[in-house]
Structure 1
Amino acid sequence: MNPTTSLTGRVHVILPAYNEADSLPGLLRRFAELDTAHPELQLRVLVINDGSADATAEVASQTYGQLDVTLHNHERNMGLGQAMLTGLQRTVANLEAGDVIVAMDADDTHDVNLIPIMAERLSRGADVAIASRFVSGGCDRTAPPFRRLLSRGAAVVFRTIFPLESIGDFTSGYRMYRGSLMQNAVRHWGNRLIEEDGFACMVELLLKLRFWGPTLSEVPMVLRYDRKLSVSKLKLMRTLRQYLQLAIRNAVTPTPREIRYASC
């Protein structure tokens, strides 16, 4: 059975990219193959070139089969958080009923073939599907030890403070969101939807979405760090500090009154 038969809208993919000229061609070719195999997904790919110093913009401007690829350039590097915010705001402005939004890394470490599975989860009632390294069938053994330790440590801390339906992978950058949920979030938070400029922005986004009481679901993901061709942008101590500050700030932040009883 085709897992995407219940999906009524388009799949918008946001790829924040900083110096990913080596990784993007392979990733976009995989998307082109997915687009051919699953035309019902109606894939739309938005590459946010975050002030890259390499040929990221040129690579993203090439043709990849019939894949619909749009490029947006930041004149300077603004960080993952701002790249994500730009992508979400531009995508939300073009949503139609039933559309969904996928955010994923542009370094080719995420499997595009999880998208039909994530779409199936949303068709069954989930509002956010998270590609998780920490559920049965998931794995991140090809990642460097320090990254694995950081991800697991952050998961323990945030799962303890914010028990969001027992979600295990808070820091995963690969997620699918129901379009209407993200419309509500962008409308309410505006430019404050994402204020962190580094990797902590993915945790921040999940925490801010919790005020709408979304149904969350995790899909097993095998992280393919062995395919990563670009230099890692993760700064260990900076990211750790951001995670701790984010946990403290959100723990003492009351639920915004105007959305306390809202739903997506």
Structure 2
Amino acid sequence: MIYLLLPAFNEAEGIEVLVRNISFQLSNQQHSIIIVNDGSFDNTPDILKKLQPELNLNIINHEKNLGLGKAMQTGINYVSSVINKNDILITMDADNTHPVDLMQKLEEKINNGYDIAIASRYASGGKEVGLKKYRKILSGGAGIILKLFFPINNVSDYTSGYRAYSGNIIKKAKDFYGQKLVTVSGFTCMAEILIKLSKINASISEVGLVLRYDLKRGKSKIKILKTILAYFHLILRLKFEKG
């Protein structure tokens, strides 16, 4: 069983194309597409409601926008309650920047015994297309600092939202962290998840990701200064917390 988790906030411009592409890509596998609508105030809820019966979507709604971290928390807590050890969870951004055909390579990594497979911009074959220079500096700088404080074998991309996880590591994380695998509300959640799973000995591999920011639908939600400060806060907290 493949669980596909999409956190979505104001993605009306591209959500239908993305969800249909995902459904087609997974059509030969038993799967469940879970979308956490994080308080969207555009047409995202209406589009998802229209698609729900046709594509059998599992839609979880936040009444107001709580942030990517809270959407991931909601989605992962739900998945951890239904996933089996031999299942796979895939997470992906909902803005069409992640190529859906890469899911197969991520699945292969999990089926070959890894707990986490990361679609990495910095692995062999990976790159960023259409991303503004200041965003490249932010992503690259965050990665360097995180690698310095939390060195993890085989990991070059700490912040990618495109990943696959084994059902086994999701269940293990639930046993260890309860519902607090994700505690931050913003974009730093992906680093938090990765670091915490590494602390419970998750085995990790990467595949190259061509991030197509030139295909992004809708506006960026990231707030640069707030995100930079959040990374420093996350590093301090995770570095000195027990466990």
TM-score of the superposition, structure 1-length normalised?
Answer: 0.88
Partner amino acid, structure 1, of 2:181: L
Write the mapping of 1:13-28 to structure 2, written as runs, cut at 5 A: 13-28=4-19
Write the mapping of 1:157-236 to structure 2, written as runs, cut at 5 A: 157-236=145-224
In structure 2, what is the Cα distance between the partners aligned to 1:250 and 1:75? 30
How big is each residue's C-alpha offset from its partner over 1:120-139, in whole Å with a ceiling of 9 and x where there is no partner?
Answer: 11111110000000011001
**Alpha-carbon distance change, 214 to 97 in structure 1, aligned in 2, over 3 angstroms:** closer
How big is each residue's C-alpha offset from its partner over 1:38-61, in whole Å with a ceiling of 9 and x where there is no partner?
Answer: x13x22110100111011111112
In structure 2, what is the Cα distance between the partners aligned to 1:169 and 1:244? 17
Cross-structure match for 2:238:
250
Alignment partner of 1:30 out of 11, 17, 21? 21
Check the 8 A contact 1:27/1:106 in 2, yes or no: yes
How big is each residue's C-alpha offset from its partner over 1:198-223, in whole Å with a ceiling of 9 and x where there is no partner?
Answer: 10011011111112111100110101
Please list every run of at least 4 consecutive aligned residues from structure 1 whose deviation after the TM superposition is greater than 4 angstroms: none
Matched, 1:149 2:137: yes
In structure 2, what is the Cα distance between the partners aligned to 1:17 and 1:208? 23
Report the alpha carbon displacement of residue 66 of structure 1 after superposing the two structures with TM: 6.1
In structure 2, what is the Cα distance between the partners aligned to 1:187 and 1:209? 12
Percent sequence identity over aligned pairs: 37
Unaligned segments of structure 2, at least 5 residues:
none
Cross-structure match for 2:226:
238
TM-score of the superposition, structure 2-length normalised?
Answer: 0.95
**Alpha-carbon distance change, 192 to 97 in structure 1, aligned in 2, over 3 angstroms:** closer
2:175 counterpart SS class:
helix
Check the 8 A contact 2:130/2:212 in 1, yes or no: yes
Cross-structure match for 1:133:
121
In structure 2, what is the Cα distance between the partners aligned to 1:156 and 1:205? 17
1:192 counterpart SS class:
coil
1:45 counterpart SS class:
strand
Cross-structure match for 2:43:
55
In structure 2, what is the Cα distance between the partners aligned to 1:46 and 1:32? 11
Report the alpha carbon displacement of residue 164 of structure 1 after superposing the two structures with TM: 0.7
Unaligned segments of structure 1, at least 5 residues:
1-9, 257-264
Check the 8 A contact 2:68/2:186 in 1, yes or no: yes
Report the alpha carbon displacement of residue 246 of structure 1 after superposing the two structures with TM: 1.2
User: Aligned residue pairs: how many?
Assistant: 243
How big is each residue's C-alpha offset from its partner over 1:109-157, in whole Å with a ceiling of 9 and x where there is no partner?
Answer: 1111111111111111110000000011001131121211111001111
Check the 8 A contact 2:52/2:58 in 1, yes or no: no
Write the mapping of 1:24-103 to structure 2, written as runs, cut at 5 A: 24-36=15-27, 39-40=28-29, 42-63=30-51, 67-103=55-91
In structure 1, what is the Cα distance between the partners aligned to 2:58 and 2:148? 39
In structure 2, what is the Cα distance between the partners aligned to 1:43 and 1:228? 25
In structure 1, what is the Cα distance between the partners aligned to 2:215 and 2:236? 35
2:128 counterpart SS class:
coil
